[in-house]
Structure 1
Amino acid sequence: MHEMVKGGNVGLAALSEDTGSLVVSLSWSSASGDGDADVSILLLGADGKVRSDADFFFYNNPAADDGSVQLLGKTPTANGSEDRVGIDLTAVPADVERLVVAASQYGSARFGELDDLRVTVADRTGEPLLGFSINDAGAESAFIFGELYRRGGEWKFRAVGQGYETGLAGLATDFGITVDDDEEPVAPEDAEPQAPPSPLAQAETVVEKPVPATPVVAPAPAADAPAPVPAQRPEPEPAAEPARRSRGPRTAKKKVTLPKVAKKSLAENDSWRQARLFPAPTLKSDREREMRATSVLLAVMAQVPEFGRRLTAAFGAPAGRMQTFTEVTLPNGDTPRRPDGVIRVERAGKLWTALVETKTNGNPLKSEQVQDYMDIAARRGYEAVITLSNDVALEGSPLVEVKTDGRRKHKVSLWHLSWAEVAHQAQLLIRHEGVGNAAHAWLLQELLHYLQHENSGCHGFQNMGPAWVPVRNGIDTDTLCQGDERAVAVVESWERLIRQVCLRLGGELGQKVLPVQRAKRGTDQASRRAELADRLCEEGRLSAELRIDTTPGILAITADLRTGKLRTSIEIPAPEQGYPLSWVKRLVRQLAEAPADLHVESLVEGNRGPRGTLERLRPEPGDLLPKDGAAITGFRLSLFKGMGSTRGNAESGFIRSVDEAVDRFYASVVAHLTQSGGPERRPVRRTAASEAAALG
């Protein structure tokens, strides 16, 4: 991998023969695990400005219609996060000369609080081509990591490392993003209704991130010169009028999302069942489930471009005309092979092909089967093999082991997709981000209904594995010793479960939900899991933390295997202004709809503060104040629930009990904290311009 220094540039053709499709990864870490940032991409013309606001791609405008840019989302690393972007250079319009790769933080967060800031560029197979680290971050709340630009008929990359203390607004304004008032888009009345929302969805409220509005003006850098540090502009005078939220102009064609409230049914009674496009009740055998699920998914991918592109962009596929096939027979010596599916994408006369191997109902992938498909793909010049199952892939713990022949010039990449991730992407599109027309929205809704049907076998991770019962028994009898490999297997299963909880919750809320992994810098995944397994043997507890956008703290989950209790909790900081009695009264008012058995505890530095159930504290909020007048630093809110004991998906199962505990805690407690006691607002899809505008 080519390591770059600030201001340096390199031609991509010198690093790889295949650079038409790239994956750009921005990563960072934090000792506390609390740091976060959001990637953004700007397409610039010859004048160094965006052609329109539609050229600004960020978490609420994640994909270009032509497929040139696709935000792929975040993945947790050992002690931080990695945000990835798929870029198809062959699809970039001819009048775009530069692609700026940036990241921003919100609120009072600064990049100096993060460690290991780094950008990596990989080819379509995932092989890293170049890397650039930023070591001098300070008070900046936005950073340009680098840029891809045209020079002499080829694409080059420049390591920029330019910071903005004025945040996303300053960065966006610097490149020509404008801000105008506009009405909020709404879902069309003729869109196909979706099923009634779940209690979790009913509790949803989108609270928009505050973004600094102070702009920065700086000239665009020359084609091969390091970008200058932007000059600071004085703070503007406060407006005399009452503050109001600014909206930017619509920067893309109208999107269709499904309304939250279902239309009144025309059925005579509840026994009538609506006709489904993909019926699932008659599915019996595993083979039938696999064939049906593969065909249903691939058909929807081909018919709904936004969905097909969303799933394949992460695997290096270009934007283009997609066709999908099932049960294709391919030669393989004396025994032809029949992969479950084939995906082909055509662009500019070139084909990108991936073989698909599917498993449902918790069946594991088979290494020898996947190995055969990797060999076939290499011989036939295909680009990828995609495995699809209920399992969730973890960094440093591959689901199947395959060998690659290093002597082959043609490289084949192996990717994994979980059914939970498929459902997550479908939810984001039809419920939050929108698709091109009502028919596409209906197709995605039918796909989601099929995936969630009990007979489909596509419910995601459902089994804690063969080590689960022996480990629980060993903890009960105090015979489980540190270093036991079965404990490591349980820790991996727990991580897969938490990743799936994040996907499901993020799809419901339309927000980023990521697991927080706290580890010493430089610790690899295997060592980190071994340390957690030893802690499990000693303490008998599994713990995890989730970071959810717009929430005031980290949501913690603890499964105590000794007591059989699940604890969900959140710690929120004390307000910076006001009086402690006002704080506790306001907190109790916000929790008016929370369960009576919610445990509330005052956090006092160096000591345990007063605590009690919400039922007892409602008439006397002052009981949360320390008797000795000690300063309150925050509050901890906790709910307890019995833990299921079985491994499967029965009502009493452990996995289901974790899902129910997180849903109940978010809907009844956390959602009310995000509302901050204010009226509920209708979720909207924000434009690039409004994201860069000041709130207020």
Structure 2
Amino acid sequence: MQEISKGANVSLTALSEDAGAVVVSLGWTSATGAGDADVSVLLLDENGKIRSENDFYFYNHPAAADGSVQLLGKTPTSNGDEDRISVDLTAVPEDVARIVVAASQYGGARFGDLDDLRMTVSDRTGEPLVGYSIEDAGVETAFIFGELYRRGEEWKFRAVGQGYETGLTGLATDFGIDVLEDTEPAAATAPAAGPGAVPAPPEEGGVAAVPVPAEAPATAPEATAATEAAAASGATVPAQTRGRAPRTTRKKVTLPKVAKKSLAENDTWRTARLFPVPSLKSDKEREVRATSVLLSVMAQVPELGRRLTAGFGAPAGRMQTFTEVPLPHGDTPKRPDGVIRVERAGKLWTALVETKTHGNPLKDEQVQQYMDIAARRGYEAVITLSNDVALDGSPVVDVKIDGRRKHKVSLWHLSWAEVAHQAQMLIRHEGVGNAAHAWLLQELLEYLQHENSGCHGFQNMGPAWVPVRKGIEDETISPDDERAVDVVESWERLIRQVCLRLGGELGQKALPVQRTRRDSDPRARRIAAAAALCADGKLSAELRIDGTSSVIAVTADLRTGKVRTSVDIPAPEGSYPLATTKRLLRALAEAPADLHVQTLVEGENGPRGTLERLRPEPGDLLPKDGAAPTGFRLSLIKGMGNTRGNTESGFIRGVDGAVDRFYHGVVAHLGAFEARGGRRS
């Protein structure tokens, strides 16, 4: 990979023969784990302006209809977050001269608060081509990281590094986007005021979106009349809270969260399902059925097919899928579980698919054979699909890539939990093109979540789990036991899956928090965590949900068999301590009675008690010496499951259930208290 400095440029064609489509990655770390930023992409003409509002892509407008740009979302790395963008340069319209890649912060945050700001451009196989690091970030609330631009028939990359103290509003204005001023929320919502207009951010540095009523298409006469009336009266468009609804006026179909009342006579009646699963018995049967179900839905629902393959370098085009395809390999043909082909402009993109269900692991030798077949036949990728969750710096399978081959094949991994997450996001939060597609996705989700499908996600802590847990209980495990490192790695996969499930349910990004620098070694970090596990018997992690101000801490104590979930919230500045405690307890009126509340005091532990005991006596939370509370720690403790095995039925379900109960029972109720405090991280 070539490193360049601010202002430098390089030809992508000169760096790779396969630069027709690229993946742009923006990354950062934060010492507190609370840092975050939103990526945006602008397509500009020769005059440096957008052609229309559809040339501005951000979290509420994440993809171009022609597939040229797609925001793939955030993924956790070993030491921070990475936001990826797929750019198909062959699909970019001829009158687009530049593609600007930027990021913005909100809530008063600054880019100087983040570390290791970096942009990387990779080719469609995932091979990094060029990288650029921003070293001089300070008070800026928006940054142009870099841009892709045309020079004749080739595309080039330039490292820009231009910052804005006026946030995304100032950046957008420079490129011809009219930003509406923020106003108080109104009872009704009007459409955006003309092409190229976006609403102002709800908080400094952010961007708001104009919600579209789901009851009627935006082209309805009533909508037109409302627009004209708003323009005539000089009404302004109210800003919407960050990241909740589509910004465009195109109608999308989502399914209601609450199902209609059943017409069944009693609970023993079972709804007919498109993909029946109760009769599945053998692992082979599960794998064949799961592969066919998923690939068929991907081909019929373009939104899902594109969402699952864009990050693997697939172009936007006509998709067809196949199962059990015989391919020559030595004396005996091989049959990959599936094949995905995408056609665009007469060219084919092909990926082989190898599937595993239940707790079955992928086999290195089998995947290696498919990599060799793909290389010989000129295919672009091999995709492995299983209940395992991929981690940065930790391969799911071990294969060798022959560097002498001119044709490169990329190897990608997809977990069943990620498939379910994307289906949930589409049918519950973002919407799809029509009702039939929404129904198909719902049937797919029902299939994946059925206990007989073998596709309900990460469900095996590995062979090291039982001996390590027993060694901790008996205090006989050695601090340098390699099996403890395997357990730490499995723990990271579990936390990643918890984030996927919770994020899909909420329609918000949920990511593990890593408090290490980008250049740190993932294995060294896991070795240190394994030593801590052997010493104190605890596995710890933190996760952050977009839209909340705090980090959720999860600690599994293997000696006591308990899972503790907790969150620290700051006390409002300048408020009376007793009034603050009363307001906190009112906000937690619906929280579980066994919630532990502890007052945080500078340099020491303050009073604590259960919510049940504190509700009638909020003054018990105040320090006896009159010290002012700096914040509060809210904790729930839950059993992690009694099963001694390594499967989902015990520990994994215990951790997942603990996080779910804590978020819905506690964190979801803190919005009013945090808003009154006026402090959001």
TM-score (norm 1): 0.88
- The CA deviation at 1:453 is 0.5
Aligned residue identity for 2:90: T
Pair 344,252 (structure 1): closer, same or farther in 2 beyond 3 Å: farther
Alignment of structure 1 residues 120-519 onto 2, 5 Å: 120-179=120-179, 210-212=202-204, 245=239, 250-251=247-248, 253-519=250-516
Query: Does the CA-based 8 Å contact 1:387-1:416 persist in structure 2?
Result: yes
Pair 652,357 (structure 1): closer, same or farther in 2 beyond 3 Å: closer
Alignment of structure 1 residues 94-105 onto 2, 5 Å: 94-105=94-105
Segments of 5+ residues of structure 1 without an aligned counterpart are 187-207, 216-240, 680-696
Query: Does the CA-based 8 Å contact 1:464-1:647 persist in structure 2?
Result: no
Query: Does the CA-based 8 Å contact 2:202-2:239 persist in structure 1?
Result: no
- The CA deviation at 1:369 is 0.4
Query: Does the CA-based 8 Å contact 1:322-1:344 persist in structure 2?
Result: yes
1:403-455 per-position Cα deviation (integer Å, ceiling 9, x unaligned)? 11111000000000000000000011110011111111111010000000011
Which deviates more from structure 2 when the two are superposed, residues 170-179 or residues 576-585?
A: 170-179
Look up the match of 1:627.
Answer: 624
Separation in structure 1 between the aligned mates of residue 327 and residue 250 of structure 2, nearest angstrom: 41
Look up the match of 1:43.
Answer: 43
Pair 2,252 (structure 1): closer, same or farther in 2 beyond 3 Å: farther
Query: Does the CA-based 8 Å contact 2:25-2:85 persist in structure 1?
Result: yes
**SS where residue 653 of structure 1 aligns?**
helix
Separation in structure 1 between the aligned mates of residue 30 and residue 246 of structure 2, nearest angstrom: 36
Separation in structure 2 between the aligned mates of residue 644 and residue 659 of structure 1, nearest angstrom: 11
Provide runs of 4+ in structure 1 moved above 4 Å: 179-186, 241-244, 246-250, 647-652, 675-679
**SS where residue 632 of structure 1 aligns?**
coil
Which deviates more from structure 2 when the two are superposed, residues 8-17 or residues 277-286?
A: 8-17
Separation in structure 2 between the aligned mates of residue 27 and residue 342 of structure 1, nearest angstrom: 32
Separation in structure 1 between the aligned mates of residue 464 and residue 454 of structure 2, nearest angstrom: 22
Pair 244,314 (structure 1): closer, same or farther in 2 beyond 3 Å: closer
Separation in structure 1 between the aligned mates of residue 663 and residue 496 of structure 2, nearest angstrom: 16
Look up the match of 2:610.
Answer: 613
Alignment of structure 1 residues 562-573 onto 2, 5 Å: 562-573=559-570
Query: Does the CA-based 8 Å contact 1:20-1:88 persist in structure 2?
Result: yes
1:477-536 per-position Cα deviation (integer Å, ceiling 9, x unaligned)? 110111101100110110110000000000000101000122356320000000000000
Aligned residue identity for 1:111: F
Separation in structure 1 between the aligned mates of residue 518 and residue 63 of structure 2, nearest angstrom: 33
Query: Does the CA-based 8 Å contact 1:468-1:647 persist in structure 2?
Result: no
Pair 254,639 (structure 1): closer, same or farther in 2 beyond 3 Å: same
Query: Does the CA-based 8 Å contact 2:465-2:646 persist in structure 1?
Result: no
Query: Does the CA-based 8 Å contact 1:31-1:521 persist in structure 2?
Result: no
Separation in structure 1 between the aligned mates of residue 29 and residue 437 of structure 2, nearest angstrom: 38
Separation in structure 1 between the aligned mates of residue 567 and residue 675 of structure 2, nearest angstrom: 20
Separation in structure 2 between the aligned mates of residue 243 and residue 305 of structure 1, nearest angstrom: 32
Separation in structure 1 between the aligned mates of residue 496 and residue 206 of structure 2, nearest angstrom: 37
Pair 416,213 (structure 1): closer, same or farther in 2 beyond 3 Å: closer
Indicate whether 1:66 and 2:66 are aligned.
yes
Indicate whether 1:602 and 2:599 are aligned.
yes
- The CA deviation at 1:210 is 3.6
Aligned with 1:667 (options 653, 658, 664): 664
**SS where residue 133 of structure 2 aligns?**
strand
Separation in structure 2 between the aligned mates of residue 481 and residue 643 of structure 1, nearest angstrom: 24
Give the structure, 1 or 2, with the largest relative contact order (CA under 8 Å, sep 6 or more): 1
Indicate whether 1:539 and 2:539 are aligned.
no
Aligned residue identity for 1:147: E
- The CA deviation at 1:673 is 0.8
Separation in structure 2 between the aligned mates of residue 24 and residue 634 of structure 1, nearest angstrom: 40
- The CA deviation at 1:243 is 11
Look up the match of 2:220.
Answer: none
Pair 523,213 (structure 1): closer, same or farther in 2 beyond 3 Å: closer
Separation in structure 2 between the aligned mates of residue 467 and residue 406 of structure 1, nearest angstrom: 34
Separation in structure 2 between the aligned mates of residue 521 and residue 442 of structure 1, nearest angstrom: 42
Look up the match of 1:204.
Answer: none
**SS where residue 41 of structure 2 aligns?**
strand
- The CA deviation at 1:559 is 0.4
- The CA deviation at 1:261 is 2.4
1:153-176 per-position Cα deviation (integer Å, ceiling 9, x unaligned)? 221111110001111222223222
- The CA deviation at 1:12 is 1.1
Look up the match of 1:575.
Answer: 572
Query: Does the CA-based 8 Å contact 2:16-2:129 persist in structure 1?
Result: yes
Query: Does the CA-based 8 Å contact 1:545-1:554 persist in structure 2?
Result: yes
Which deviates more from structure 2 when the two are superposed, residues 642-651 or residues 496-505?
A: 642-651
- The CA deviation at 1:33 is 2.6
Pair 97,167 (structure 1): closer, same or farther in 2 beyond 3 Å: same
1:92-145 per-position Cα deviation (integer Å, ceiling 9, x unaligned)? 122222111011111121100111111000001111110111100000011000
Which deviates more from structure 2 when the two are superposed, residues 527-536 or residues 95-104?
A: 95-104
- The CA deviation at 1:387 is 0.2
- The CA deviation at 1:265 is 2.1
Separation in structure 2 between the aligned mates of residue 58 and residue 361 of structure 1, nearest angstrom: 36
Look up the match of 2:218.
Answer: none
**SS where residue 481 of structure 1 aligns?**
coil
Separation in structure 1 between the aligned mates of residue 360 and residue 586 of structure 2, nearest angstrom: 48
Separation in structure 1 between the aligned mates of residue 13 and residue 236 of structure 2, nearest angstrom: 54
Aligned-residue identity in percent: 77
Separation in structure 2 between the aligned mates of residue 408 and residue 249 of structure 1, nearest angstrom: 44
Separation in structure 2 between the aligned mates of residue 179 and residue 442 of structure 1, nearest angstrom: 37
Separation in structure 2 between the aligned mates of residue 107 and residue 576 of structure 1, nearest angstrom: 17
Separation in structure 1 between the aligned mates of residue 526 and residue 246 of structure 2, nearest angstrom: 48
Segments of 5+ residues of structure 2 without an aligned counterpart are 192-199, 208-234, 677-681
- The CA deviation at 1:677 is 8.7
Query: Does the CA-based 8 Å contact 1:298-1:324 persist in structure 2?
Result: yes
Aligned residue identity for 1:136: D
Query: Does the CA-based 8 Å contact 1:568-1:665 persist in structure 2?
Result: yes
- The CA deviation at 1:465 is 1.1
Query: Does the CA-based 8 Å contact 2:107-2:206 persist in structure 1?
Result: no
**SS where residue 492 of structure 1 aligns?**
helix
Pair 175,647 (structure 1): closer, same or farther in 2 beyond 3 Å: farther
Look up the match of 2:679.
Answer: none
